[in-house]
Amino acid sequence: MQLNLVGINYQAAPVAILEKAAVRAGKLEEALSLLGSYVAHGIILSTCNRTEVYTAGDSIRQAEEASLDFLKAHLDISDADLHWYAYRFRGEAVAEHLFRVAGGLDSMVVGEFEVLGQVKKALDIAEKAKKVNLPLRHIFQSAIRAGRRVREQTGISKKPLSVSSVAVDLAARVVGKLGGCKLLVIGAGEAGRLVAKAAKERGVKQIVVASRTPERASALTIMLGGQPIGMDNLAEELATCNIVVTCADAPHRLLDTRRVGAVMRNRSEPMVIIDIAVPRNVAPAVAEIDNVVLYNIDDLTQIADQNRQQREEEIEQAEAIISAEMARFVIWWRTLEVRPVISALMGKAEKIRRSQLNRTLKKLPPLTDEEKYCLEMMTRSITCQILQDPVKYLKTNLKGNEDYAEIINRLFHLETEKEK
C-alpha cells in the first residue's frame, strides 16, 4: 500500500491557477465522483490556499498519474502548466505534509484557524462518498489530532489568525482608522464570519453582510451585529461603503468593471476591495478603475511573512508536536506494511499444524477429549514459539521492513492479502 499526494498551493501557483484548481464546497461530492473514475480511494482537500488530492493504492506511479489526470481534467489547463505548478509527495512525506497543513504551518497565515475544520470536512465528505480506505482514514485522523495538539499546546491558538483577519489588517493599512468606515462583506460562510468578527474587534461599527442565502446573512449579523442584505442590493451598498471584502463561494465573478465602474462614477471617495475568495469573486480588471484599490490572495504574502516572523517560537513548538505525531504515525504505517505478511505467516502455520494433527489423530487409537485437547494445545504452543521471533522481529525492526517482509514472503511462499 502506497500513499500519494498531488497538489497545487499558494506557494507553487498564482491565484489565477489556484482558482482553476479550487473545488467549491457544493461541488466536492461531484469532484470525488470524477476522481473515482481515476482511482478507487482518494480524498480532495480544497481551501483558499490549496487544492490537494490524497490517494492510497498499490502503485505510487499509477496513483500519481491518475491524480494528475484528474487535476488536468478538473483544471482544464495544459500539461506543461500542470507539471510546472503541481507538487508531489510520496509515502511518509505525505503524512508530514498533511500534519503541517492541519497544524496551520503550511498556510499563508501561520496558525490559520479554518484549515483544521477543512481537513476534517474533507475526510467526512470522502467517507460519505465511500472513497476512504484504512490508510487514508488513519492519516487524516492523525493529522486532525496533530492539528488540535498544535492549537491547544502552542501560542498559535492564543490569538488565532486567518486570511480573513489579515484582510481586515490590510484594509486598515490602506484607510487608516477603521472606526468611521463602513464595511461590506460579500459571503456569509466561515470566512465571512471571521471577517465580520475581526472588523468588529478592530472598531468597525458599520458592517453589512451580503449573501445569496438571506438566512445565513441574518444569522451572522444577529451573532456579530450589522445589517444583512441580499445580493440584489449590492449596488446601493457599494455606493456608500469604504471597504469591501469578498469571500463568497460563487461560480462566477460577483463584481466586474461594469458594476463597480457604475458605482465609482458617482462617488469621489476611494474604495478598497479585498478579494479573498478562491475562485476570485472580483474581476482583475476592476483594479484599473479610478479610486479603486484591489487586493487578492497573492497580495497578502507580505503580511503573511511578517506574521510568520512574529510567531517563530510558536512555530518551533508546533514543529516539535508534529515530529512526535509523525513518529507515532510512522510506527503505525510500517506495522501496517508487515501486517499482511504476519497474518499470512500465522495462517499458513496454522493450516499446516491442523493438517498434521488430523493425520496423526487418524493413526492413533481413540483418544479421550482431554487427550485431544492436550495434543491441540501442544501443537499450537510449538507453532507459536517457532514463529514468535520472526514475528517480533518484523514488528520491532520497522526500518527497512519492506525488505524483511519480502524475504519472509519468499522463504515461506506466502499469499498475502492487501489491506482494504
279-288 average pLDDT score? 93
pLDDT in tens, 343-357: 777 888 888 888 999
When pLDDT is averaged across residues 235-254 and rounded to a whole number, the result is 90
- H-helix or E-strand spanning residue 70: helix 60-75
* CATH superfamily for domain 2-159: Glutamyl-tRNA reductase, N-terminal domain (3.30.460.30)
Mean pLDDT of 134-161: 87
Tell me what pLDDT residue 401 has: 47
Assign residue 273 a region: left if phi > 0, alpha if psi is -120 to 50, beta otherwise? beta
pLDDT value, residue 232: 86
Architecture in CATH of 163-306: 3-Layer(aba) Sandwich (3.40)
Pick from 39-48, 229-238, 394-403: least confident: 394-403
**Ordered strands of the 2-9 beta sheet:** 42-46, 50-57, 2-9, 87-90
Angle in degrees, 0-180, between the axes of helices 214-224 and 190-201, rounded to the nearest 10: 30
Q: Which residue has the higher pLDDT, 72 or 291?
A: 291
**SS3 of 177, please?**
coil
pLDDT of residue 27: 87
Highest mean pLDDT among 104-108, 113-117, 146-150, 377-381: 146-150
391 burial (CB, 10 Å; 0-12 / 13-18 / 19+) is middle
From 314, 243, 300, 248, select the one nearest 272 (Cα to Cα): 243
**In contact, 5 and 53? CB cutoff 8 Å:** yes
Catalytic residue among 48, 181, 241, 247: 48
- Residue 41 amino acid letter: H
Q: Specify the higher pLDDT residue, 336 or 84.
A: 84
Please report how the helices 92-102 and 312-363 are oriented relative to each other, as an axis angle in degrees rounded to 10. Answer: 140
Reference 71, options 33, 101, 34; nearest CA is 34
Distance of alpha carbon 67 from alpha carbon 83, whole angstroms: 12
pLDDT of residue 406: 72
DSSP string, 136-147: HHHHHHHHHHHH
Mean pLDDT of 319-335: 88
Q: Is 247 a catalytic residue?
A: no
Residues with Cβ < 8 Å from 203, sequence gap 6 or more? 177, 178, 179
Query: According to CATH, where is 3.40.50.720 located in the chain?
Result: 163-306
Contact 267, 206 (CB under 8 A): no
Cα 418 from Cα 5, distance rounded (Å): 20
Cα torsion angle, 184, 190, 194, 197, sign: positive
The mean pLDDT value of the chain amounts to 86
Contact 51, 45 (CB under 8 A): yes
> Is the CB of residue 298 less than 8 Å from the CB of residue 277?
no
Q: What is the mean pLDDT of residues 243-264?
A: 92
pTM: 0.73
Full DSSP string of 286-323: GGGSTTEEEEEGGGGHHHHHHHHHHTHHHHHHHHHHHH
- The reported pLDDT for the residue numbered 197 is 87
User: What local confidence, expressed as pLDDT, does residue 72 receive?
Assistant: 84
Separation in Å, CA 153 to CA 42, 109, 114:
31, 18, 17
Share of the chain above pLDDT 90, in %: 37
Average pLDDT over residues 145-168: 82
Reply yes or no on whether the pLDDT at 65 is more than 80.
Answer: yes
In this predicted structure, the answer to whether residue 398 has a pLDDT above a threshold of 60 is no
Rounded average pLDDT over 295-323: 81
Specify the domain boundaries for CATH 3.30.460.30 within the chain: 2-159
pLDDT at residue 332 tops 60? yes
